[in-house]
Structure 1
């Protein structure tokens, strides 16, 4: 039995679905083929602790010095940061939409 490898995009999708509050852990696990709920909890902890560099790290690799993978160029690093910020922006927009919906329902 080998370790599962999940892409950074899949990890971000899981975080986005979890933050939306529309899916349970079990539903997310079924949707993305995740075998253990602790994986979702780990990714959420990374997000809450602002450890965005960890979404790109390979299995078993713990970055400490440069806080992230070694990129071949500065452009590649910047592109990856832009993608992460775009995804985080989408998550925050979705959160605000849900917050507004809940406030309207309370009135």
Structure 2
């Protein structure tokens, strides 16, 4: 069994579609996601405001204080701004 890694754009598009009220089945078909639990996981991360998790590669879950908490406040804010810019760009492209 191979773990599939999804790009950040796919994760953000999934969240946007879920916010718009689309079904998990439709999201999976549109974005090519193979497991419905992945959609639920991303949605939970979004609801819990754990945005740093969207940057995690497979197998790197930042356990034991090795995540954003280790970064300075300025670096954390820079990452959040970067994420929001990508989100806005994705949203702008999806409305065209």
CA–CA distance in structure 2, aligned partners of residues 66 and 16 of structure 1: 28
Paired residues in the alignment total: 84
The TM-score with structure 1 as length reference comes to 0.66
| Alpha-carbon distance in structure 2 between the residues aligned to 1:81 and 1:51 | 11
Aligned counterpart, 2:94: none
Q: Distance in 2 between matches of 1:2 and 1:66?
A: 25
- Secondary structure of the structure 2 residue equivalent to 1:84: helix
Please list every run of 5 or more consecutive structure 2 residues that lacks an aligned counterpart in the other structure. 92-96
| TM value normalised by structure 2 | 0.73
Output aligned runs, 1:12-51, within 5 Å. 12-21=12-21, 23-51=22-50
**Where in structure 1 do 4 or more consecutive aligned residues deviate above 3 Å?**
none
Q: Which runs of 5+ in 1 are unaligned?
A: 92-107
Distance 2:67 2:49 in 1: 12
Greater relative contact order (Cα < 8 A, sep 6+): 2
Residue 66 of structure 1: how far off its partner (Å): 4.3
Structure 2 residue aligned with 1:5: 5
Give distance in 2, aligned partners of 1:34 and 1:85.
22
Aligned twin of 1:55: 54
